[in-house]
Amino acid sequence: MTDDLPRPWLALYPSDGIDAAQAGRAPFSARFADALSLFRHAVATRPANAAIHYFDRSIDYAGLDRMSDAFARFLYDQGIAEGDRIALYLQNVPSFLIGMLAAWKLGAIAVTINPMNRSRELRLLLADSGARVLVAHRDLHEEVAREVLQDFPGILAVTTSARDFQGRDDPRVLGEAEPESCPGTHDLMALLGSAADTASSSAPTPLRTQADADQPAIIVYTSGTTGVPKGAVVSHRNFAVDADIWRAWMDLREGGPILAIAPLFHITGLVGHIGAAFATNSAMILSKRFHPAVMAESAAEYQAEFAVGAITAFIAIMNSPEVRPEYLRTIEKAYTGGAPVPASVVDEFGRKFGIVIRSTYGLTESTSLAVAVPRDRTTPVDANGACAIGVPVFGTDAYVADETGKRLPPDEVGEIFLRGPQVVSGYWQREDATREAFFDGYLRTGDVGYMNAEGWLFIVDRKKDMISASGYKVWPKEVEDVIYGHPAIREAAVVGVKDDYRGETVKAVVSLKPGMSLDSAELIAFCKERMAAYKYPRQVIILDELPKTVTGKILRRELR
C-alpha cells in the first residue's frame, strides 16, 4: 500500500553534502551493525577521550572499557550468560554505563528501570523481564528493593552509590549520604577492585567484542497507566543505527561534550546521550538527576556542545535565577522532544541564551529519533503557535492515516505511522501488543497529527487525550498553545473532566513564572477571546509546580 509513498521532505534535508534521494529511499548506512561494536570502535580509536564527566571526575573510554570488563567477568563467574536480563535501577551515574556494557559483553540484555518506581512497579518489571541481576543505588535498595527481592530469591543484587566515581560533592543533587553498605548484596566498587586484582591470574573470560545485530540489547519499558507496562525490545542494530542517525542528522562533532539532560533509563538518554557519545567519541556530562543550575554550571565547566531533553527541562533552566546566559555559551545545538513545543517558549529561550531549540520526535518503539527539524532549517509554526516536530530523518518513512490505515492527503489530521531501521520489532513476550502496534509494516504511534505538502509533520495530540465536549473534539495541545501565549504562564496542561451537561469539559492546570500573578478568571477570559466556545477551559487550577515524570513530561493523568 505504501510502496508509492511520496517523500516531499527529502527536499528539506541538510544541504551539506547529503544525497537526499539516497538518504531517504535507501536504508540508512550506519557505520556499525551493533551497539557493542559502536562502543568498541570508540575505545579503539580514542581510548584517552573522556567518556564521562561526573562531578569533577572524568573517566576515559579505556577506563570505562576496563571497568565494564571487570563487572562482566564477575557476572560471568556468577553464571550470567547470553540472553539473561540485567536490570539497572539507577539514575544518571557512571555505574549505569558499566552495567549496560557488561551486559552486552556477555550477550545479556540490559533492562532499564525508572528509579522513581516504587515496590509495586519494581516487582512487576522484575517479574515481567525475568531479570537475573539487579543493579541499584544503595538507598533505593534499602528503601524499595530489599523487600521486593524477598519474592525473587534467584536475583543477584549489586549495589552502588551516586557518590561512587565523584570528584566532589554537590548536595543540591547528591543529597544525603547513602548507606555505607547493603548486607546481602555485592558492592560494585569492591567488585571492580577485586576483579582488576584477579584478572591477570585467572582464566580468561569469553567477553564479546561484537554482538549479533538482531539480538536484544535493551528492554525499555513504556509508560503504563494500568497493568504491566510493555517492554520494547531494542536490538543492537536499532541502537547502533539510531545513534548514528543522531550523529549524522545533528552533524555532531567528534569529541564534542554532550550535556546529559534526559534520564539514561529513558530512550532519549540511552540513544541521544549514550549512543550519540559512542558514535562521536564524546563525553557525557552526567549529574545523577536533573537540576537546572547544576546542569547549566556543568555545561560551562565542560564546555558542552550538544544538549537534548524535554522542553520542561529547558524551561526550568531558562527560569532558574541561578543560571546565567554565559553558562550555555558553548552549546551549538539544542534539541527537545517528548511533547510538542510552543513557539513562544523557543523564542524566549533564544532571546535569553542565543540558542535555537529545534524539535525531535520519536517513541520508545522507534529507539528515539524518527523525526526531527533539519539543523539548517527554520522550524515552521502552525496557526496555533506550535512548532513542527520536523521531517522523517534519514532512512525513515512516515505518513498520516485515518482509522482504517488509509493514507490521508496533506494537512488532514490522522494518526502518524512510522517505518525505519530504528523501529523495534516488538514487545518483550507480548505478541498481542506487538500485533496491535503495527500495520502493513509501519508502527502505529498513537499520536494524532498532520503532514503538510512540504513534508513537515505537526503533532495535534495523543489519541487517548482527546476531550469530547458537547460532541466536539477538543485537543488539549491546541488549548495549551493558547495558554502559553499568556506572558505569566510557565507551564500548562489541559485535561478533560466529567461534566453532566457537556459529557466532558476542559480543565487547565498551570504554573506561573517567578514574580508573575494571575487568577483563574483572567486566564479563562484570555482563552475565551482566542478560541471557540466549546474549547476554552471552564476550570483553571494554579499550582506552584505541575507533576512530571522523571523525563520531564507533565503527568496529565494526575491532574484529572
Report the distance separating Cα 317 and Cα 350, nearest Å: 12
- Residue 85 φ then ψ, to 5°: -105, 135
Report the distance separating Cα 318 and Cα 540, nearest Å: 24
Compute CA 374 distance to the chain's CA centroid, rounded to the nearest angstrom: 19
Is residue 182 included in any domain, yes or no?
yes
Does the pLDDT of residue 455 top 50, yes or no?
yes
Using the 3D structure, point to which of 221, 251, 276 is the last residue of a domain. Answer: 221
pLDDT tens digits, one per residue of 132-165:
999 999 999 999 999 999 999 999 999 999 999 9
Using the 3D structure, point to which of 166, 190, 221 is the last residue of a domain. Answer: 221
In terms of average pLDDT, the best of 106-115, 227-236, 464-473 is 106-115
Longest dimension (CA), the chain: 78
What are the residue ranges of helices labelled H in 338-446? 343-353, 431-437
Residue 1: per-residue pLDDT: 41
Number of structural domains found in the chain: 2
Residue 310: per-residue pLDDT: 86
* Domain with 530 in it: 466-559
pTM: 0.85
pLDDT tens digits, one per residue of 366-394:
999 999 999 999 999 988 777 899 999 99
- Our CA dihedral for 123, 126, 130, 135, rounded to 10 degrees, sits at -140
Using the 3D structure, point to which of 221, 241, 265 is the last residue of a domain. Answer: 221
Return the number of other C-beta atoms located less than 10 Å from residue 517's C-beta: 9
Is residue 119 included in any domain, yes or no?
yes
Provide the CATH number for the domain around residue 145: 3.40.50.980
Provide the CATH number for the domain around residue 541: 3.30.300.30
Average of per-residue pLDDT across 419-425: 96
Is residue 164 included in any domain, yes or no?
yes
Residue 23: per-residue pLDDT: 53
Report how far apart, in Å, the C-alpha atoms of 356 and of each of 150, 152, 154, 393 are.
Answer: 50, 48, 50, 19
Does the pLDDT of residue 537 top 80, yes or no?
yes
Task: Give the containing element (helix H, strand E) for 530.
Answer: none
pLDDT tens digits, one per residue of 31-43:
999 999 999 999 9
Compute CA 466 distance to the chain's CA centroid, rounded to the nearest angstrom: 24
Residue 387: per-residue pLDDT: 87
- Residue 473 φ then ψ, to 5°: -85, 130
Is residue 292 included in any domain, yes or no?
no
Task: With beta carbons less than 8 A apart as the criterion, state whether 343 and 386 touch.
Answer: yes
Residue 21: per-residue pLDDT: 45
DSSP type of residue 411: T
Residue 502: per-residue pLDDT: 66
**pLDDT band of 223, cuts 50, 70, 90:** low
Report the distance separating Cα 498 and Cα 36, nearest Å: 50
